[in-house]
Amino acid sequence: MTKAEIVSRISDETGVEKKAVLATVEAFMESVKDSLSNGNNVYLRGFGSFIVKERAEKTGRNISKNESIIIPAHNIPAFKPAKTFVEKVKTNVRVK
């Protein structure tokens, strides 16, 4: 599902104009990005959590030059779904 499809579906279900829904979705995504970039997690009860994970420094390999490189410690965004979300997906997935 794309952002445009999400906007269309919300617009159809709520009767709100697509422009307004798009602005709301964009504002939500920007708020989540800003919060995570500031090191704050975002918790949405019943849906899940957008969290910042810390990756430790590690040694990698540049195979084209056959040399070791150090990958510095860094933070990455991650999503952890709520238990109810996981259960719903587990019970509703159809095998194609």
Question: How many CB atoms neighbour CB 49 within 10 A?
Answer: 14
Confidence of residue 1 (pLDDT cuts 50, 70, 90): very high
CB 60 within 8 Å of CB 71:
yes
Domain count, the chain: 1
CB 51 within 8 Å of CB 40:
no
Task: Give pTM, 2 decimals.
Answer: 0.77
| pLDDT higher than threshold 90 for residue 9 | yes
Confidence of residue 50 (pLDDT cuts 50, 70, 90): very high
**Domain containing residue 33: CATH number:** 4.10.520.10
Which range marks the domain in which residue 32 is found? 3-92
Stated length of the chain: 96
Question: What share of residues in the chain are helix, strand, coil (percent, to 5)?
Answer: 45, 30, 25
Among the ranges given (4-8, 33-37, 51-55, 63-67), the one the predictor scored with the smallest mean pLDDT? 63-67
